[in-house]
Amino acid sequence: MTKPPMLSIHDLNVWFGDPPDRVDAVKHASIAVAEGASFGLVGESGSGKSTILRAVAGLIDSWSGNLEVAGRTIHGARRDRQFFKTVQMVFQDPYASLHPRHSVDAVLSETLRLQGIGDVDRRINRLLDDVGLGRSFRFRYPHQLSGGQRQRVAIARALAAEPRLLLLDEPTSALDVSVQAEILNLLSDLRAEHGLTYLMVTHDLAVVGHMCDRIAVMQHGRLVEELQVEDLRRGAAQADYTRGLIAASGSYRAGG
């Protein structure tokens, strides 16, 4: 029997505000992400790609359509612990996503306790090892960490619940170019080691080429095209908008 997708999005609409000022940010979007896959959402700023992630994560209430995670239909607000044991999100800005007065230990301890996970000391040490920081970082504060180190802590926090699906919202775009590749390589390794499924938002086609198996291209809140990354590399895109993105991304061509 064929397994259901890890994430299924069907006819998703997301809006902000009420008529006559309502803004339709996502319109009739449908994608399916297979278990263990890494799926990319690409497009210009304002195309609706991060809005899809936030709707899946439960950070936006004004949506309609059908969302299923690991075969379970999602309704309204995400209040059950089981959802957050399955789905976690890594945000774009590691400076904003960590509390400045909470140590790494406090951040990870709180997450583990919220999820009802015991053996906190051992698990924190394992998480820090998993993200390449090591135990010497356990009692440091965000101001004592570089941007890349902060993002590693944010990834460790997401992994603390032992999720199956990670939502990645431009996870390297706020970082120096010199550390972006390190974080992407870490995410690739973690996906392989833990059997994770990724839904990643990015505007960078080089990141897609490095991280993803399949992508959907968005423009003005709509899905324009869905294709394999190999098709993208071969220039086999069908939509004019997608071909324009490729043409504008010299770094993608250079990165293969």
Give the pLDDT of residue 256: 38
| pTM for the structure as a whole | 0.93
Report angle CA 152, 138, 193 to the nearest 5 degrees: 45
pLDDT by residue for the chain (256 residues), tens digit each? 567 899 999 999 999 999 999 999 999 999 999 999 999 999 998 999 999 999 999 999 999 999 999 999 988 766 677 888 899 999 998 888 899 999 999 999 999 998 888 899 999 999 999 999 999 999 999 999 999 999 999 999 999 999 999 999 999 988 998 899 999 999 999 999 999 999 999 988 889 988 999 999 999 999 999 999 998 888 888 999 999 988 887 645 434 3
CA atoms within 13 Å, Cβ hemisphere of 77: 1
Give the pLDDT of residue 254: 35
CA 38, chain centre distance (Å): 10
Give the pLDDT of residue 185: 96
Phi first, then psi: give them for residue 95, nearest 5 degrees. Answer: -75, -35
C-alpha radius of gyration, the chain, whole number: 18
Cα gap 76→67, rounded to integer Å: 10
* Alpha helix positions (H), the chain: 49-57, 81-86, 94-97, 104-114, 120-130, 147-159, 177-194, 205-211, 229-233, 240-248, 250-255
Domains and CATH numbers, the chain: 7-94+163-255 (3.40.50.300)
- Residue that the structure tokens 């809006």 belong to: 15
CA 170, chain centre distance (Å): 7
Residue 59 burial (CB count, 10 A): 14
Give the pLDDT of residue 241: 93
Phi first, then psi: give them for residue 8, nearest 5 degrees. Answer: -125, 125
Cα gap 30→10, rounded to integer Å: 4
Cα gap 168→171, rounded to integer Å: 6
Give the pLDDT of residue 75: 80
Contacts (Cβ under 8 Å, ≥6 apart) of 155: 90, 131, 171, 183, 186, 187, 190
Residue 164: DSSP 8-state: S
Cα gap 81→72, rounded to integer Å: 14
